[in-house]
Amino acid sequence: MHGPFHRGGHNKPMGEINVVPFIDVMLVLLVIFMIAAPMLTQGVQVDLPQVTSEPIEDVEDSDPVIVSVDKEGNYYISLDDDETTVSLDNIADRVMAILERNPNTPVMVRGDRNVSYGQVVTLMGTLQTAGVANVGLISEPPADED
């Protein structure tokens, strides 16, 4: 009886693996990935704002100075429940005066969701250019939908 496991009178199984189906599958996958790869590198075009800033270092926590931007683009500085309206040009001077009294005070930025991204980043860049060592962002957790 001659079958696929029979070799010239020996009764031992064939020890070779047929790799042709594996090569076929590999070639099909290669073609799929060659077609899909250029689609993966494309993205959404975003015009990011350009601000010169340096990485911030961690400092110890204390009551933060909160600089807010509302939906009209007005700036506010809050410290210990005292909120004052300021212009972008005066923010650096006001915050630097606060930090001279207490250099470990972190500065937090709170921006309205309808404010442009560029305006918030410009504010953060202004704060870092003024020498603020700790700039963070404040957000609210999403509302529970029960």
Provide, rounded to the nearest whole percent, the portion of the chain with pLDDT above 70: 69
Structural domain contains residue 18: no
Structural domain contains residue 24: no
The number of distinct structural domains making up the chain is: 1
Residue 134 CB contacts under 8 Å (≥ 6 apart), including other chains: 56, 57, 58, 59, 105, 106, 107
Structural domain contains residue 98: yes
Whole domain around residue 107: which residue ranges? 65-137
Convert the pLDDT of each residue in 54-69 to its tens digit.
Answer: 544 554 556 788 888 8
Say how many C-beta atoms besides its own lie within 10 A of residue 133's C-beta.
Answer: 17
CATH code, domain with 90: 3.30.420.270
The mean pLDDT of 104-110, rounded to a whole number, is 83
Structural domain contains residue 4: no
Convert the pLDDT of each residue in 77-98 to its tens digit.
Answer: 888 777 788 888 888 888 888 8
Parallel/antiparallel/unpaired status of strands 75-79 and 135-137: unpaired
